[in-house]
Amino acid sequence: MKVISLLNLKGGVAKTFTAVNMAYELYRRGYKVLLLDNDKQGNLSKAYGRYDAESVAPITKLLSGEWQAAAELIQRTDYEGIDIVSANMSLMGATWQLTTEETGNQIERYKRLAQLDAVGAYYDFCIIDNPPDIGLNVVNALTVTDEVIVPVKIDEWALEGLDILADQIEDARQFNPALRLLGVLVTAYQNTDGEAAGREWLETEKESYSLLGVIRYSGKVAESTFLFKPIYEYSPCCGAAQDYKKFVTRYTGKAR
């Protein structure tokens, strides 16, 4: 099972939307995907219809260590081949509680799930949707991550923030030497002079930030989120749907 973390220290860059649609495109190619919603807002859980505001969320149990079997954490979605460990605001309390603990391992709470044969052997990919920070829940995610993909909307501040994020990932390699920054996925791209210049800059910095793909802006994106549908199911001909399809084809080497 390959573990992918979607991470950016800036919000509003389509991390969750990328998690939703990357999982869907992997599923359409026959892969089995496990999603970890590592954000207390629970938007990934909402997108797949598994958000529960009242109960202690499965990701909270995972972070606190209060579980016995994977079945307590993993929920099926409406797509045969996409499962999820859902989140809600209870994750905030668990993250805070972890910072106050003086004993026990604080950064390997997610390893226990990833190392279970029933999980690692069953799923081909695990995608972790992270919040725009480096809290202990994110550190735990990076401990089990193989590759970090950085969704980014092109503007000056976003590009400047890449250096900071790259440094954070390099620091995380102290406890996970296999961790690597795979590259940048440009989202909501509009071919203006400014964004074209930012894209050109990324292409010239390919040794530092490999450009994995470009997702064009589409008004259909917001509409699809209201209907809780992957963009390809809602509007398969729109630019964003086609671009996510191309991105995953390039990532996996497998078309559909």
All structural domains of the chain with their residue ranges: 2-252
Domain 2-252 classification at class level: alpha beta
Compute the distance between CA of residue 160 and CA of residue 153 in angstroms, rounded to an integer: 12
Q: What is the pLDDT of residue 138?
A: 97
Residues 6 or more apart in contact with residue 147 via CB below 8 angstroms: 2, 3, 4, 5, 179, 180, 181, 182
Digitized pLDDT (tens) for each residue of the chain, 256 residues in all: 999 999 999 999 999 999 999 999 999 999 999 999 999 999 999 999 999 999 999 999 999 999 999 999 999 999 999 999 999 999 999 999 888 876 568 999 999 999 999 999 999 999 999 999 999 999 999 999 999 999 999 876 667 788 899 999 999 999 999 999 999 999 999 999 999 998 988 888 777 789 999 999 999 999 999 999 999 999 999 999 999 999 999 999 999 8
- Per the CB < 8 A criterion, the answer to whether 32 and 81 are in contact is yes
Quote the pTM value. Answer: 0.95
Two structure tokens written together for 143: 């401990």
The amino acid that residue 226 corresponds to is F
Q: Find the distance separating the first CA and the last CA of the chain, reported in whole Å.
A: 21
SS3 of 198-222: the string is: HHHHHHHCCCCCCEEEEEECCCHHH
CA distance 126 to 169: 18
Q: Which residue do the tokens 């499962």 mark?
A: 83
Q: What is the pLDDT of residue 104?
A: 63
- Helix, strand, coil proportions of the chain in percent (round to 5)? 45, 15, 40
DSSP 8-state code for residue 128: E
Number of C-alpha atoms within 13 angstroms, CB side, residue 196?
3
Cβ 36 vs Cβ 59: under 8 Å? yes
Interatomic CA distance for residues 157 and 135, integer angstroms: 21
Q: How many helices (H) and strands (E) does the chain have?
A: 12, 8
As given in the structure block, the two tokens for residue 23 are 């999982």
